[in-house]
Amino acid sequence: MLRVDAVNPSDRGERIGAVAACAAALALFLPFVWPLASGRVFQGDDLGRFHLPTRHFYAQCLANGDDYRWHPGLFCGVYLHGEGQAGMDHPLHRLLFATLPLAAAFQIELAIGYPLMFAGMGLWLRRLGLRSDASFFGAMVFTFSAFMFLRYVHMNAIEVTAHLPWLLLGIEILARPRSDREAAWAGCGIAILTASQGLLGYPQYLGFCVVVEVLYATLRFRWSAGTWLRWAIAKGLGLLAAGAQILPHADALAGSMRATPTRAFLGMNSLQPMNLARIVVPFAFRQGHYRADAVAAWPFHENVAYLGAVVPASLAWLWIRRRDLGRWRPMTIGAAGLLAASLALAMGSYSPLFRFYAAIPAARIVRAPSRYVVVAQMAAAVLCAVAFADLANMASRRIRLPRRSLRPLLAPIAASVAVGAALLLARDLRPAGFRADQIGVARDMAASAIWLALPCLVMALSARGWRAAPLALILLAAADSAVVAVAPILRHERTVDPADPAITGPAAPSSSRVISRVNEAAIGGTRLVEGYVAMTPRRHLDYTKPRVLQVASAGWDRADGGAWRALSLAPLPRARLVAHAAVSRDPGSDLERIDVGTTALVDAPLDLPAGPAGEATIVRDRPGDLVIQTKAGARRLLAVSESFHPGWGVEIDGQPAIPLRVNGDFLGCVIEAGRHDVRLRFDPSSSRVGRRLTMIGLAAIGLQLIGGLWRSRRPAREHERSGRWGSLTSGRRCDEIRPFPPDRGDERQGST
């Protein structure tokens, strides 16, 4: 048994630092799991407005055996699976919401991305050859940054981003595998992770991850065509296996307002440049961010540019040590360039680059350029990890640097003082268009300068031989996250019981639809004419007009959030027969000129004899599955106030029929005289084909893995047995190296 006093001090300090980083990460993570103890959930912003109502619907469908692809409670019916953000075909989501109570499943989904992200980032950096304490320090800077914490209201964004470090780990293994078997598993892992990302249904963050992967692969693969091909095949199979979500998402996009975005839409939620001041002045703004149009105290997740107090200090340290970075120099330069480029892209419409960005076809389906900060945060975490590794090695060996070489550490403090003074001056001068009421006071600027000075001081002490500097830096980074990110969340967020009727509001007085933009009402069974989704469906009618609301079977309004009030026109039945159909090219205008009780608008002429309309009764009303019994004396048009979508199919007495678009936005079909059972079922081809592609993709991934493992049984080539690690690790295994070994000159300057 190894004695404690025989342990290498460097190794012991490394282990202590790694444990400290993991313990700090655990402490920062605990606020996201404590609601589980009381059966409650966070509900701030999009959590309550979108994610909780859709997860409630999803859980109910799984429990009742219903089809969750179509949500009848929003927008008179919407292709929810195509909207995508609930990730309803993801295996983890199905497991959670099919087996656990809603509150537990919801809060676990909200929290699970953080530990996975932390572990993946730490393992990737460790694989590169960084010390374990530096690796987990970088993981903490990335995972528990202000951007990631405040993005918790977009829970699926966190889930998608959590895959990125693991994908980079897979690329690193492909670039320098220890064996063919390891390379085969890495290719399979990349494919599975890509499929998992695609099934979560957030293509914007999937795109961010692909950009980072390509840049990193360029650094690691260089001109190795075989490795590029292996990676491309893995990514392609992963996207194929995500077809169950990608094809429905493309289908929903084609029928949404985002299919033809405006320039203003693409620039929505651009990062206001004033927010860049928070990089060096953390407490610059009273509400945590700056907005030129209005003041919003919470949430401010779309205007987060704060990367962490240790980032400016790390950049200064890397500048001091720029000539001694050795094999880490290319990655450091690349990460710094990526940091600057992503911040420029995050400014969106405020940046001259925006017109080029907006011209890219793939970029025209998403908004909120401020989300590019996630790439900047990844680059900043890498820089912090590299700086920490160098600092920790110097501290463990008590190597001292000349005092004058540490002057760049004053740059972050000087920048903080200068920017803070400029903000105070602008607040007093109040130039045109400047929101002086959002700027903090002198005390806030002073606190910011001191806050930024602390990590600079720790690094300076480390350069003068203080061995506890790495541990102090870990504690400072954890305190920074707690103050800047965790504290605002706990101060503003409140937990709710998903079953509490108080969050849904009073139930509607009847079964007719209602006017309300609050999705929470759908939890209580209320059906909304409109709603809140990312892929807002493109519709032909104006749902502020009384006649349109009558056709939509809307009978009540609670727009002011108070008591329900009846609309001026009584709602039409949800399913009815009409004896007269008029052809219309402009249903929005023509509805105002017809008797909507007896006439419906269609796209092509219908031969309907005169006479009584007949009767229609809904006997089955489940999501995406309606059964209606009809009785008529002649050929009639069945009009149903359910949103039209090409995915609807019609069967009359078991025989297929043609669905029709009725009154511009709704569904219908023609029935013959007599009694009939009409079944309307939502089963879009995008979903059917997508699920088949997923099965094919998964089978192909399995075959790829089997083939790779079979090839790995061949005798290993000599250079594989010795380990292929390239420039980053100089041919040595990652667990044998210590980056940034001091040169002889440093050793002569140091003191032991």
pLDDT at position 299, please?
A: 65
Contact yes or no for 538/254 (Cβ under 8 A): no
Residue 298's pLDDT is what? 61
How, if at all, do strands 554-557 and 513-515 pair?
parallel
Residues 572-612: tens digit of each pLDDT: 999 999 999 999 999 989 998 899 989 999 999 998 998 89
Residue 127 counted as domain residue? no
- Residue 733 banded pLDDT, cuts 50, 70, 90: very low
Residue 628 located in a structural domain: yes
Kindly state whether residue 660 falls inside one of the protein's structural domains: yes
Residue of higher predicted confidence among 181 and 500: 181
* Model pLDDT for residues 116-132, shown as the tens digit of each residue: 999 999 999 999 989 99
Give residue 358's pLDDT band: very low, low, confident or very high (50, 70, 90): confident
**Dihedral of alpha carbons 423, 429, 435, 437, sign:** positive
Give me the DSSP letters along 500-561: -GGGT-SPPSSSSEEE---GGGGGGTPPBSS---SSPBP-SS-TTSHHHHHHTTEEEE-TTS
pLDDT, tens digit, for every residue of 200-212?
Answer: 988 889 999 999 9
- Please tell me the total count of domains within the chain: 1
pLDDT of residue 728: 33
pLDDT band per the 50, 70, 90 thresholds, residue 38: confident
Mean pLDDT (the chain) is 87
Q: Which of 291, 345, 335 lies closest to 314, judged by CA? A: 335
pLDDT tens per residue, range 49-65: 899 999 999 999 999 99
Instruction: Say if 264 falls within a structural domain.
Output: no
* 176 phi and psi angles, rounded to 5 deg: -140, 70
The residue with greater pLDDT, 600 or 562, is 600
Asked if the model's pLDDT at residue 356 lies above 70, the reply is: yes
Residue 279 domain flag = no
Q: Which residues have C-beta within 8 Å of that of residue 457, sequence separation ≥ 6? A: none
> Which domain range does residue 595 map to?
575-683
pLDDT at 456: 94
181 located within any domain: no
Residues 6+ apart with CB under 8 A from 359: none
The pLDDT of residue 6: 33
pLDDT at 363 over 80: no
Question: Looking at residue 750, what is its pLDDT?
Answer: 36
Paired tokens of 655: 């025989």
- Report the C-alpha gap between 242 and 246 in whole angstroms: 6
In which band, very low, low, confident or very high, does the pLDDT at 327 lie, cut at 50, 70 and 90?
Answer: confident
Give the list of residues 6+ apart from residue 17 with CB closer than 8 angstroms, or none: 131, 132, 133, 134, 136, 137, 392, 470, 471, 474
Domain presence at residue 618: yes
Instruction: Note the pLDDT tens digit of each residue in 156-171.
Output: 999 999 999 999 999 9
Q: Which of 74-88, 456-470, 646-660 has the lowest mean pLDDT?
A: 456-470
Whether residue 147 is contained in a domain is answered as no
Percentage above 90 pLDDT, the chain: 58
Residues 693-702 have a mean pLDDT of: 95
pTM: 0.90
Average pLDDT over residues 668-690: 95
Looking up residue 672, the CATH number of its domain turns out to be 2.60.40
Q: How many residues does the chain have?
A: 752
DSSP class of residue 673 equals: S
Instruction: Return the pLDDT at 28.
Output: 93
Sheet of 636-643: strand order equals: 575-578, 636-643, 666-671, 660-662
Q: Which of 723, 736, 730, 724 is nearest to 327 (CA)?
A: 730
In this predicted model, what pLDDT tens digit does every residue of 84-93 receive, in sequence order? 888 999 999 9
pLDDT tens figures, 602-639: 999 998 998 899 999 999 999 999 999 999 999 999 99
pLDDT at 463: 86
